[in-house]
Amino acid sequence: MIEIKNFDFLIGKWTVLNKRLKERLKNSTEWIEFTAEMETKPILNGLGLMDEMKSSHFGDEFIGLSIRMVDPKTNIWTIYWADTASPENYLKEQVVGEFKNGIGEFYGKEYYQGKEYKLRFTWEMKSETIAQWEQAYFDELNNEWETNWIMEFTRSN
């Protein structure tokens, strides 16, 4: 594991292998895989990062936008998200958190199929050229986190 304290590792161009559970919170073990391309750039003199992820998996050209902003006094990050599949959500705050011992953990809430769930993002740098992101919902029935989306990033520049 590589020690990371912020999102600087994400600056650059990436090829992304997405793995999404076919059905969330239903004990599914079937994963849907698709690829995407992403480019991340610093903004506001290092107070944040912005990236665009593009994929044709969802039919029309899908574009997702992340903005990650840090409070320089606490090193707490807030991650915002918008995409072309749900433009009515415009730019929404998703999760807040920080890096500890090289792992980024970020928590928030998200509505899925009409119900609010606790949401967790986990970031880890696997090597100088490979990073991983995971999204999980807290399954109250089983009292555990269910990972429902994994992205494996491979540096392409």
Q: Is residue 27 part of a domain?
A: yes
Q: Is residue 35 part of a domain?
A: yes
CATH number of the domain enclosing 76: 2.40.128.20
Host domain of residue 54: 7-155
* 8 phi, psi to nearest 5 deg: -55, -30
Q: Is residue 100 part of a domain?
A: yes
pLDDT attached to residue 87: 65
Q: Is residue 2 part of a domain?
A: no
Q: Is residue 1 part of a domain?
A: no
pTM for the model stands at 0.90
**H or E element that contains 38:** strand 31-43
Q: Is residue 111 part of a domain?
A: yes
**pLDDT tens-digit map of 88-136:** 767 888 899 999 988 999 999 998 888 999 999 999 999 889 999 999 9
**pLDDT tens-digit map of 6-65:** 898 999 999 999 999 999 988 889 999 999 999 999 999 989 999 999 998 766 788 999
Q: Are 109 and 117 in contact (CB under 8 A)?
A: yes
Q: 23: left (phi > 0), else alpha (psi -120 to 50), else beta? A: beta
- 121 beta partners: 106, 135
Q: Is residue 23 part of a domain?
A: yes
Q: Is residue 49 part of a domain?
A: yes
Query: What's the mean pLDDT when you consider all of the chain?
Result: 90
Number of domains present in the structure of the chain: 1
